[in-house]
Amino acid sequence: MRPDDPYRSQFARSFFSRWLFITACLAALMVLWHLLPVFESWFAPEAGTPRTVTARGDLAADEKATIELFEKSRDSVVFISTTQMVRDPWTRNIFTIPRGTGSGFVWDDAGHVVTNFHVIEGASQATVKLADGRDYQAALVGASPAHDIAVLRIGVGFKRPPPVPIGTSGDLKVGQKVFAIGNPFGLDWTLTNGIVSALDRSLAGDRGGPVIEHLIQTDAAINPGNSGGPLLDSSGRLIGINTAIYSPSGAFAGIGFAVPVDTVMRVVPELIKTGRYIRPALGIEADERLNERLVATTGIEGVFVLRVAPGSAAEKAGLRGILVGPAGIEPGDVIVAVEGKAVHGLSQLLARLDDYRVGDTVRLTVRRGEEHREVAITLQPGV
């Protein structure tokens, strides 16, 4: 037998010691790995401890401006709910049912509230709720369906909210920021914002009603219940009354319309004064459908005068309607422009005249035969 090698024995002992050490370390690491959650629970914050709030810093300038605009304007906007009286055909009892809701805004210190005509159309009663929670029964002062504008009045003897500041709409530019405050779907005092998308839009009235002209188009969200509420510029001034949306689905689709404040400023004072708005007129007779056929047949765009009323402003200005004589039918005058602005149909003529008041003198461009001439005419009250 070979004698033991002292070096080999020493190596074996050294290798075995290292193996034991590594095995012990691995076992210790395994134990620590399993005990790690316990150690974490010792040092972790107590469950339910509030998180530290991170300081935000100042609001952006446009955020501050929007908040200030809403806070200054909110109290001047009102919530309008209407009811309708109906008769039970079986019992003949009369009772009231909810009809709808809308928005409006305080016009003056006398308690007049402006809204859309379609908000109160067909209603028997209207209730105006203020931002502070007070509500009042409103009286109808007057309405102009042709402009979709109505004026209500709420009670006397209490401190009213401030009127909405009045701006202008004739100088609006596409791209301007606008803000709408109203009560969409009954969600009271909601603020939305957007821009002026287009100007001078036309919109056919409901159920064959008159075409509303000169509308402001906006992408600020307008939904059912916003009707009658104010459209404001970035200074918080009234520039329009939110009146309608274009939507295949019935919900907001990015296209809303507002009656411009320049129209409101002509119509509302007349409604407050007399209860109705009398449109300026020329004293002529014309027909929209016949006019469309004549335009298509002749290729001449304008309003064909069918008849001039005796003693009217049109007769005094020398306008002439269709003449029937021995030689047959002789065409009358065709109005092609008002103050240099083209007229393509009867609704547009009425809209052009609506920019003026009864008693104003306007300049018409009239075509008679192949000639064009300028005619000055003083506007008379319409029927």
Q: Which residues are catalytic?
A: 118, 148, 227
Task: Report the distance separating Cα 172 and Cα 268, nearest Å.
Answer: 21
Q: For the chain, give me the number of helices (H) and strands (E)? A: 7, 23
Beta bridge partners of 377: 362
Residue of 144, 153, 137 lying closest to 121 (CA atoms): 144
Task: Report the distance separating Cα 84 and Cα 258, nearest Å.
Answer: 26
* Residues 146-161 as b or e (16 or more Cβ within 10 Å = b): bbbbbbbbbeeeeebb
Task: Report the distance separating Cα 355 and Cα 59, nearest Å.
Answer: 42
* Residues 306-345 as b or e (16 or more Cβ within 10 Å = b): eebbeebbbbebebbbeeeeeeeeebbbbbbbbeeeebeb
DSSP 180: E
